[in-house]
Amino acid sequence: MAVATKKVRAEQTPGDDRSGLFDDQFLKKLEYLHVVSRKIFTGNLRAERRTRKVGSGIEFADHRRYSWGDDFRYIDWNVYGRIDKLLLRLFEEEEDLHIYILLDCSRSMLIGNPLKLHYAMQIGAALGYVGLANLDRVALVPFSDRLRGRLPPARGKNRIFKVFEFLRNVEAGGQTDLAACIRKFVHENKRRGLAVLISDFYDPRGFEEGINSLRYNKFEPFVLQIYDQREVDPHLHGDLTLVDCETGEAKEVTVSKSLLDAYKREHEKYCSELSEFCTARALAYFRTHTQLPFDELVLKIFRAGGFLR
């Protein structure tokens, strides 16, 4: 924890002014979102989230065949009387939910108006607040080419200011290496939980390996892709030298309308690949542009389900 809180931004990127990101207005919106989330998620148990882990809870989950050594107390004798088979009653085990908010703070997130990073921080803070208010354990893990600090899991909405403070001081920059960062993340966090992955997913190495690492290690990935409208429809024309903001790689192009159309198609195709990847694996996936107000996006997430149960 001490290491994480000491993390300070080494250099402020031009335009990356975070002083006004989490003001009172923002806090009011968070409270509003919290209230709304409770309306949407009615009938749940207070301060509790259930995992899929089957254990010794009180809510029936399933049956399974009795095997040698099982506790006799959980044998369903009514079923045995009807079908003459020994079946064991299983209950959902109740435990605290860990919400890990993985925040992409690579160089590419420092593009857009507003900056994608700022937008991602506001989304992360909002989701984190809802989690904290629901007495879940919320942790923040910024990453780019490596993990850039960590806010350890905390509970209770009064910890939201720690979240703000942490986000304000997150160091941004570097290339995106999703796979390496998530591998390191799963090694460092043994408690499984919901992994909210907020990023633009502009990783030359691809996004599949990173998301699969979460899945394979029993984390529940929640994919949130952020983009800027100008990335989809850049207003470019003429002879240009395109420079990759992360790798610095330059490419001379003459941008024509046909080339722009081809680029738009390629961008859409890339996003569709991510969407199809998540859908095929029953992962929650949201895509948004930075011009959409963050609270609207959060409400949209709530209504779609996946974050609240």
49-65 and 87-95 beta bridge pairing: antiparallel
Identify which range of 77-85, 91-99, 128-136, 232-240 contacts another protein by CB under 8 A.
232-240
How far apart (Å, rounded) are the C-alpha atoms in residues 37 and 81? 44
Rule CB under 8 A: say whether 267 interacts with another protein: yes
Residues in CB range of 209: below 8 A, 6 or more apart: 178, 179
Q: Which of 78, 247, 272, 279 binds another protein (CB under 8 A)?
A: 247
- Smallest gap from residue 226 Cβ to another protein (A): 11
Q: Which of 240, 303, 304, 305 binds another protein (CB under 8 A)?
A: 240
Rule CB under 8 A: say whether 47 interacts with another protein: no
How far apart (Å, rounded) are the C-alpha atoms in residues 3 and 28? 30
SS3 79: helix
How far apart (Å, rounded) are the C-alpha atoms in residues 137 and 147? 20
How far apart (Å, rounded) are the C-alpha atoms in residues 204 and 173? 16
- Smallest gap from residue 178 Cβ to another protein (A): 13
Which of 49, 309, 21, 283 has the alpha carbon at shortest distance from 165? 21
Rule CB under 8 A: say whether 220 interacts with another protein: no
Total number of residues binding another protein (CB under 8 A)?
35
Rule CB under 8 A: say whether 257 interacts with another protein: yes
- Smallest gap from residue 259 Cβ to another protein (A): 6
Rule CB under 8 A: say whether 276 interacts with another protein: no
CA angle 219, 116, 233 (to 5 degrees): 115
Decide whether 20 or 238 has the Cβ nearer to another protein: 238
Rule CB under 8 A: say whether 15 interacts with another protein: no
Specify the DSSP element, H or E, that contains 250. Answer: strand 250-255
Task: Give the footprint of another protein on residues 102-131 (CB under 8 A).
Answer: 108, 111
Q: Which of 200, 211, 219, 285 binds another protein (CB under 8 A)?
A: 200
Alpha carbon 12 to its chain's center: 25
Decide whether 202 or 294 has the Cβ nearer to another protein: 202
For 65, other C-beta atoms within 10 Å of its C-beta total 9
Rule CB under 8 A: say whether 95 interacts with another protein: no
Q: Which residues bind another protein (CB under 8 A)?
A: 108, 111, 200, 202, 204, 228, 231, 234, 236, 238-247, 249-259, 262-263, 266-267, 270
